[in-house]
């Protein structure tokens, strides 16, 4: 994934948060093995991060600037709506804007996904 190599070059850290009830280290490792890359992740068994960012769906991303402000929230891209083709690489473009000191052009996008199953 191009974004996985771009982010460190721009001094941006990516962390995956797995918020759903029942997610485990084994399931997450299996997921990453299936898609062919590895990254830092958190299993959010207390829904701390879900609450902090008011996450609703998975996958949903939040790009946070150095001041802790969310500068982008939404899907990684629009491939779900376009049968696998990416017309808008939302997260990549937001990372480039942030890294180059520009305001993020599209700070919020709506996307498809599954509702988060909260821990109770």
* Residue 1 predicted with pLDDT over 70: no
Task: Report d(CA 50, CA 20) in Å as an integer.
Answer: 10
Q: pTM here?
A: 0.80
Query: Sign of the CA dihedral 41, 31, 107, 13?
Result: positive
Classify domain 2-110 by CATH architecture: 3-Layer(aba) Sandwich (3.40)
Long-range contacts of 77-84 (CB under 8 A, 24+ apart): 78/109, 78/111, 80/111, 80/112, 80/113, 81/111, 81/112
Extract the tokens encoding 97: 């804007």
Going by their DSSP bridges, the two strands 70-74 and 114-115 should be labelled as: unpaired
Task: Report d(CA 77, CA 82) in Å as an integer.
Answer: 10
Answer whether 118's CB lies under 8 Å from 50's CB: yes
pLDDT by residue (tens digit) across 19-73?
A: 988 899 999 999 888 877 778 889 998 999 989 989 888 888 899 888 888 999 9
């Amino acid at each position: 994934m191009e974004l996985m190599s771009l982010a460190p070059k721009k001094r941006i850290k990516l962390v995956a948060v797995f918020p759903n009830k029942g997610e485990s280290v084994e399931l997450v490792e299996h997921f990453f093995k299936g898609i062919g890359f590895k990254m830092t992740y958190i299993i959010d068994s207390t829904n701390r991060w879900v609450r902090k960012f008011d996450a609703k769906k998975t996958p949903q991303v939040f790009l946070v600037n150095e001041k802790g402000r969310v500068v982008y929230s939404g899907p990684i891209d629009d491939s779900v709506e376009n049968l696998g083709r990416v017309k808008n690489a939302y997260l990549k473009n937001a990372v480039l804007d942030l890294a180059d000191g520009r305001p993020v052009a599209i700070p919020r996008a709506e996307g498809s996904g599954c509702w988060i199953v909260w821990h109770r």
